[in-house]
């Protein structure tokens, strides 16, 4: 994940949104629950009726963007693994 989406999801987990960063295995379950609650509470804009059928770009929801991170956090919690993320410079 990149840019604003990554920062937003990290903040939903209770993190600062800064990369690099890490979570200890003991902190992963709480971060997962915070992320799940934030995603469930997020208001998803609905595309205007008929836009998808006309080939208009449909916005990607927060739920869709968060899904891979939720799966990763769930696996980390199950296996009691630490989680580390880093930033990528785009120069």
- If one counts the domains in the chain, the total is 1
Domain enclosing residue 38, as ranges? 3-43+60-85
Q: What is the pLDDT of residues 10-68, one digit of tens each?
A: 999 999 988 899 999 999 999 999 999 999 998 876 666 665 566 667 778 889 999 99
Flag whether pLDDT at 80 surpasses 80.
yes
Length of the chain: 91
In angstroms, rounded to a whole number, what is the distance separating the alpha carbons of residues 24 and 32?
Answer: 12
Model pTM? Answer: 0.81
Q: Is residue 91 part of a domain?
A: no
Q: Is residue 49 part of a domain?
A: no
| Secondary structure of residue 46 in the 3-state scheme | coil
Q: Is residue 51 part of a domain?
A: no
Q: Is residue 48 part of a domain?
A: no
């Amino acid at each position: 994940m990149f840019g604003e989406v990554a920062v937003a999801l990290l903040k939903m987990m209770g993190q600062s949104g800064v990369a690099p960063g890490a979570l200890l295995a003991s902190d992963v379950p709480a971060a997962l629950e915070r992320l799940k609650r934030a995603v469930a509470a997020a208001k998803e804009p609905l595309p205007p009726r008929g836009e998808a059928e006309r080939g208009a770009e449909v916005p990607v929801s927060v739920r869709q963007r968060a899904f891979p991170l939720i799966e990763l956090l769930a696996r980390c919690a199950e296996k009691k693994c630490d989680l580390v993320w880093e930033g990528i410079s785009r120069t």
